[in-house]
Amino acid sequence: MIERYSFHERICHWTTAAAYLYCLATGLAFYTPHLFWLAVILGGGPTSRQWHPLLGVVFVAAVIWMHALWSKDVAIGPSDKEWLAKSEAYVTNDDAHVPPQERFNGGQKVFYWAMFWGALALFCSGALMWFPEYVPAGLRWIRPVAILVHECAALVTIGAFIVHIYMGVFVVPGSTEAMVGGRVTKRWAMTHHKLWYDRILRANK
Amino acid sequence: MSNGVLQIKAMSGHAGTVPGANTSRDYEVAKLIDVTTCIGCKACEVACLEWNGYPFRETQFDNTYQTMPDLAWNYYNLIRFDEHTTPEGTFQWLMRKDGCLHCAEPGCMMACPADGAIVQYANGIVDFNQENCIGCQYCVTGCPFNIPKFNAETKKVHKCTLCSDRVGAGLEPACVKACPTGCLHFGSKEDMLDLAEKRVDQLKEHTAHKNAGVYNPAGVGGTHVMYVLHDATNPEAYGGLPKDPKIPLLVRIWKGPLKWLGNFAMAGGVVAAFAHFMKFGPKKEHGGEEHADD
Ligand code: HEM
Ligand code: SF4
Ligand code: SF4
Quick one: pLDDT band at residue B266, thresholds 50, 70, 90? Answer: very high
pLDDT at residue B290 in the model: 55
Quick one: pLDDT band at residue B68, thresholds 50, 70, 90? Answer: very high
Judged by phi (left if over 0) then psi (alpha if -120 to 50, else beta), residue B57 lies in beta
Calpha distance B250→A124 (Å, rounded)? 18
pLDDT at residue B2 in the model: 40
Indicate yes or no: CB of B291 within 8 angstroms of CB of A48. no
- pLDDT tens digit sequence for A184-198: 999 999 999 999 999
Question: Contact B107/B142 with Cβ under 8 angstroms?
Answer: yes
What does the pLDDT average to over B205-209? 93
Question: Contact B223/B107 with Cβ under 8 angstroms?
Answer: no
- pLDDT tens digit sequence for B77-103: 999 999 998 888 889 899 999 999 999
What does the pLDDT average to over B163-174? 95
For the domain made up of A2-204, give the CATH fold: Fumarate Reductase Cytochrome B subunit (1.20.950)
Calpha distance A13→A63 (Å, rounded)? 9
pLDDT at residue A88 in the model: 94
Pocket test for ligand 2, best of B31, B103, B133 (most atoms within 8 A of CB): B103
Of A46, A163, A171, nearest to B282 by CB-CB distance is A171
- In chain A, what are the domain boundaries? 2-204
Quick one: pLDDT band at residue B63, thresholds 50, 70, 90? Answer: confident
pLDDT at residue B62 in the model: 82
- Which protein residue's CA is at the shortest distance from atom 6 of ligand 3? B136
Calpha distance A6→A23 (Å, rounded)? 26
ipTM metric:
0.89
Indicate yes or no: CB of B134 within 8 angstroms of CB of A33. no
Residues of B in contact with A190 (CB under 8 A): 285, 287-288, 291
Helix axis angle for A7-31 and A45-70, nearest 10°, is 150
Residues of B in contact with A129 (CB under 8 A): 136
- pLDDT tens digit sequence for B38-55: 999 999 999 999 999 999
What does the pLDDT average to over A157-167? 97
